[in-house]
Amino acid sequence: MKESPLAPAKFWIDLDNTPHVPFFIPIMAELRRRGHQVVVTARDAFQVCELADKKGVAYRKIGRHTGRNKLVKVLGLFYRAAQLLPFVRAERPDLAVSHGARSQVIIANLLRIPTVIIADYEFARALPMMRPQWEIVPEVIGGNHLYVSADRVKHYPGIKEDVYATPFTPDPGLLRELGLRQEETIITMRPPATEAHYHNPEAEILFEHFMKRAVAQPGTRIVMLPRNKRQDEFIRSRWPEWFKDNRTLVPAKAVDGINLIYYSDLVVSGGGTMNREAAALGVPVYSIFRGPTGAVDQYLQRTGRLVMIENVAEVTSKIPMVRRTRDAARLQSVGPALKVIVEHLETILAVSRRG
């Protein structure tokens, strides 16, 4: 990538959810390679901090997850924004960047710091104070349903998972760590995001039906990745039979999701990043997400890289539980998404500096 003609700047990246950690690591590295400074904050939610620690990311832990109650969630966003204030005043960043960290946008807008949200789901909504000044999205989304006006939207090719899914070198040590054997049919399962504002209860029905089928299938092992401790405890108490004889296991600590997906024979997920990571790696993936289908998932479905499961019958008819042939060679390609995103960030900063 070319050297930056832009005067060195300070970029503030806020890690708000677990997938943001691997996504921003190559972006931070490229910004620093171009001579910029990067400061990082992280919310103590899901496994954000644990994964950041594992990946060696230096950050300031500020704020936490506040649960599924909508009013409490909104109040929690403003409370975390207040918690971020001392950090922002001390660091004085030139540009605030996240993949949907609304608390960052609130405090940055209040302090007149230019804000950028990189997004890939056009049906997300935000209150006026939580809207960024700029947005960067995949080309397939186009210009509809975005936070900002069309002249404040930048596009990049492919999907966000292209930024970090490749190049990638598989590490079989994960199988030993989790007690998995390569001769087993390994299924990675991500339950629906029941606390998200876009959640549709139909996804929970599909989740239950698939799990009952999977644990009854000889030779299968399911690695389940609950979204938080509450969801883990609920699933264990509601369906203890799934975990008998370690047929279904939940990793005791944060795992490298890309590595787990690569060694999986199939992925079934309630939507979001894990589906698209599997698609980026060429792993068979089936979505039980029942909210509004975003343009990225429609694109992946059209190109045969993702299968949308819409009803209970399709859980059986469309999801074959078979082992797959893994091809490590295809994981070494590097797409243009990273370069384009970083250049957009520099362009936005240059425009902001001009006033």
State the chain's mean pLDDT as an integer: 91
> Could you read off the pLDDT of 28-70 as tens digits, one per residue?
999 999 999 999 999 998 789 999 999 999 999 999 877 667 7
- pLDDT bin (cut points 50, 70, 90) of residue 146 is confident
> Could you read off the pLDDT of 98-118 as tens digits, one per residue?
999 999 999 999 999 999 999
Q: Do domains 10-165+334-353 and 173-332 have the same CATH topology?
A: yes
Specify whether the CB–CB gap between 307 and 285 falls below 8 A. Answer: yes
Q: What is the DSSP string of 269-333?
A: ESSSHHHHHHHHHT--EEE---SPPPHHHHHHHHTTS-EE--SHHHHHHS---------GGGGG-
Nearest one of 35, 24, 11 to 91, comparing CA atoms: 11
The reported pLDDT for the residue numbered 286 is 98
Kindly list the distances between the CA atom of residue 20 and the CA atoms of 141, 197, 212, 231, in Å, as whole numbers in the listed order.
19, 19, 31, 20
Delimit the domains of the chain by residue range: 10-165+334-353, 173-332
pLDDT (average), residues 335-351: 95
Specify whether the CB–CB gap between 342 and 34 falls below 8 A. Answer: yes
Specify whether the CB–CB gap between 192 and 199 falls below 8 A. Answer: yes
Helix (H/G/I), strand (E/B), else coil: 9: coil
CA 213 to chain centre: 27
- pLDDT bin (cut points 50, 70, 90) of residue 227 is confident
The DSSP bridge pattern shows strands 248-249 and 60-64 to be unpaired
pLDDT (average), residues 264-277: 92
pLDDT (average), residues 166-172: 86
Q: What percent of the chain is predicted at pLDDT more than 70?
A: 95
Check whether 267 has a pLDDT greater than 80. yes
pLDDT (average), residues 144-173: 88
Specify whether the CB–CB gap between 98 and 117 falls below 8 A. Answer: yes
More confident residue, 20 or 68: 20
Structure tokens at 297: 């998932």
pTM: 0.84
The superfamily (CATH) of domain 10-165+334-353 is: Glycogen Phosphorylase B; (3.40.50.2000)
Check whether 159 has a pLDDT greater than 90. yes
Structure tokens at 196: 């998200």
The reported pLDDT for the residue numbered 169 is 86
Least-confidence region, from 160-169, 196-205, 226-235: 196-205
Check whether 23 has a pLDDT greater than 80. yes
Check whether 3 has a pLDDT greater than 60. no
> Could you read off the pLDDT of 76-96 as tens digits, one per residue?
999 999 999 999 999 999 999
The reported pLDDT for the residue numbered 233 is 95
The reported pLDDT for the residue numbered 5 is 67
The answer to whether domain 173-332 has CATH 3.40.50.2000 is yes
CB burial readout 79-94, b (16+ within 10 A) else e: ebbebbeebbeeeebb
The reported pLDDT for the residue numbered 238 is 96
- pLDDT bin (cut points 50, 70, 90) of residue 196 is low
Q: Which amino acid is at 45?
A: A
Check whether 128 has a pLDDT greater than 60. yes
Distance CA 266, CA 283 (A): 6
The reported pLDDT for the residue numbered 122 is 85
The reported pLDDT for the residue numbered 199 is 66
The reported pLDDT for the residue numbered 329 is 62
pLDDT (average), residues 324-330: 77
The reported pLDDT for the residue numbered 6 is 78
The reported pLDDT for the residue numbered 355 is 73
More confident residue, 167 or 306: 306
Distance CA 11, CA 97 (A): 7
